[in-house]
Amino acid sequence: MTVGVAREVTAGERRVALVPSSLKPLLSLGITVVVERGAGTDAFASDADYEAAGATIGSRAEALGADVVVCVHAPDESDISQLKASGVLIGFLRPLEAPGRAADLAARGVTALAMELVPRISRAQSMDALSAMASLAGYKAVLLAAEQLPRFFPLLTTAAGTVRPANVTVLGAGVAGLQAIATARRLGARVWGYDIRDAVREEVQSLGARFVELALDIGDMEDDAGYARALMDAKARQQASLLVPHLSKSDVVITTAQIPGRSAPLLITEEAIQAMRSGSVVVDLAAPTGGNCALTRADTTVIAHAVTILGPTNLPASMPADASYLYARTIAAMIREFAQSGQFEAAFDDDIFKSACITHGGRVVNERVLQRLSA
């Protein structure tokens, strides 16, 4: 069996799907790894590094023609046409946001597994690429905020006077949010965390942050997969309104609230931005799905009412070495899980495979993707 690693061509993407250190467990299974020339350069992995680890350096066509092709971003139409008709594709394929791509993969006869659909169960933790990337994004979001904020994060006492620590609020306490809380705390800020799931209160507090209490009756807001449910429109508007007084006291707000397959919930209204102190900063990690802030623009710095609003859409790519290392481990774990016999086996009786697989046998097989296609 061959595994192909093609160079990423999406603008701004510097990650690579496998790094040299991730190859050993695959090679031990008798797998041959073909890496497109220069695929790892932006992630500081040279062709020589791959060859030293046991990979073969080849052309793009050779990498895309492998039995199993691994990627960070879904291939475009021209690359899909080069995939092996009976082959396997594994990566972040965005099937809920771009279901048409899934239809193209099905037409090609490819078995495609979307890493973002890996279920949040104990056995799948080693394949949880979303969480790995979210942790990087939460960390980097705080550093971006600290760079933009015209104030210190920590308490600073000098002969000239004392500077009070910055107030940081993190909206959404999933993996990215919790990492943002931990990073802001390490930088010395006073931190608050908010989430509609009351179950994460203890996690927020365990990191030394305070939990934002809102007079909002929302019940159990965590779904079976561990994600937040969407609020009804009236409750969502009430939530945004109740957040305004708290956000007005914040120097930095990091937003991370996203709902798989849906537009990001609106948490910060323009009213809230107007209420914030001049020089305050918002970093909206939900920018790829519309943003949690009403004024967010993807990959653009917006200054409104003297508040800086950042909408980064791919922070992990700004740390390509570690991001690639972590992502490669999840990809390698997925391959090992379903290629024990030396061939990649479709296993629809397995919860991980069934959840992640979007196309097989010339058809779109994932119900959520089918719903998107028929909408």
Catalytic residue, candidates 59, 81, 125, 263: 125
| DSSP secondary structure string for all residues of 202-235 | HHHHHTTPEEPP--------B-TTSPBPPPPHHH
- How distant, in Å, are the alpha carbons of 108, 177, 340 from that of 309? 42, 17, 48
Whether the CB-CB separation of 291 and 7 falls below 8 Å is answered with: no
Catalytic residue, candidates 47, 126, 186, 227: 227
- CA terminus-to-terminus distance, the chain: 38
Closest CA relative to residue 247, chosen from 144, 165, 152, 169:
169
120 is an active site residue: yes
125 is an active site residue: yes
Catalytic residue, candidates 42, 128, 251, 284: 128
Q: How far apart (Å, rounded) are the C-alpha atoms in residues 258 and 358?
A: 21
Nearest-10 Cα torsion for 139, 114, 14, 30: 110
Closest CA relative to residue 268, chosen from 293, 249, 287, 286:
293
Catalytic residue, candidates 60, 120, 186, 336: 120
For residue 301, the cross-strand partners are 310
Task: Find all residues with CB under 8 Å of 166, minimum gap 6, and list them.
Answer: 149, 151, 152, 153, 154, 189, 190, 251, 252
340 is an active site residue: no
Q: How far apart (Å, rounded) are the C-alpha atoms in residues 124 and 143?
A: 30
Catalytic residue, candidates 131, 148, 238, 241: 131
Whether the CB-CB separation of 358 and 105 falls below 8 Å is answered with: yes
- Token pair in block for residue 203: 């996690």
128 is an active site residue: yes
Residue 360 gets the label, from left (phi > 0), alpha (psi -120 to 50) or beta, of beta
Catalytically active residues are 120, 125, 128, 131, 227
